[in-house]
Amino acid sequence: ETGVTQTPRHLVMGMTNKKSLKCEQHLGHNAMYWYKQSAKKPLELMFVYNFKEQTENNSVPSRFSPECPNSSHLFLHLHTLQPEDSALYLCASSPTGQGAKNIQYFGAGTRLSVL
């Protein structure tokens, strides 16, 4: 148990659906991240939030919309997704935004299938 909780663990949705992924940490961390892990590809950073403010958007399509209401919670809102968006979506948090000692703690991920 890393202290980072993601829900749901599995999600199946149609291309016209709207759904949200949730991430929660009570580690007192100030930075939170969304990653995408597709089959046969390296883990890709999607978004970074520091103290609730978005500081990185790695050219992610607008059909993915992140939300960070406070330092403990992070959401990823999904709408009109494509089948190629099917992947494992991982959330992570870290104590601070930057620095040589910035260790990330990962959740177990949400396995998303888009039909």
Partner 1 sequence: KQEVTQIPAALSVPEGENLVLNCSFTDSAIYNLQWFRQDPGKGLTSLLLIQSSQREQTSGRLNASLDKSSGRSTLYIAASQPGDSATYLCAVTPGGQNFVFGPGTRLSVLP
Contacts of 14 (CB under 8 A, 6+ apart): 114, 115
Of 75 and 105, nearer to partner 1 (C-beta) is: 105
Using the contact rule CB under 8 A, the part of the chain among 11-19, 59-67, 74-82, 100-108 near partner 1 is 100-108
- Is residue 42 a contact point for partner 1 (CB under 8 A)? yes
CB of 34: closest distance to partner 1 in angstroms? 12
**3-state DSSP call for residue 84?**
helix
Q: How far apart are CA 86 and CA 26, in angstroms?
A: 28
Residue 84 phi/psi, 5-degree rounding, is -70, -5
CB of 17: closest distance to partner 1 in angstroms? 23
Distances (CA, A) of 74 to 7, 66, 67, 103, 115: 11, 7, 6, 18, 25
Question: Could you check whether the bond before residue 95 is cis, i.e. omega within 30 degrees of 0?
Answer: no
Select the residue interacting with partner 1 from 46, 90, 112, 114 (CB under 8 A): 90
Q: In which residue are the tokens 């883990």 written?
A: 43
Select the residue interacting with partner 1 from 11, 68, 74, 109 (CB under 8 A): 109
- Is residue 98 a contact point for partner 1 (CB under 8 A)? yes
**Contact residues for partner 1 (CB under 8 A)?**
2, 4, 6, 31, 33, 41-45, 48, 50, 55-56, 58, 88, 90, 92, 94, 97-109, 111
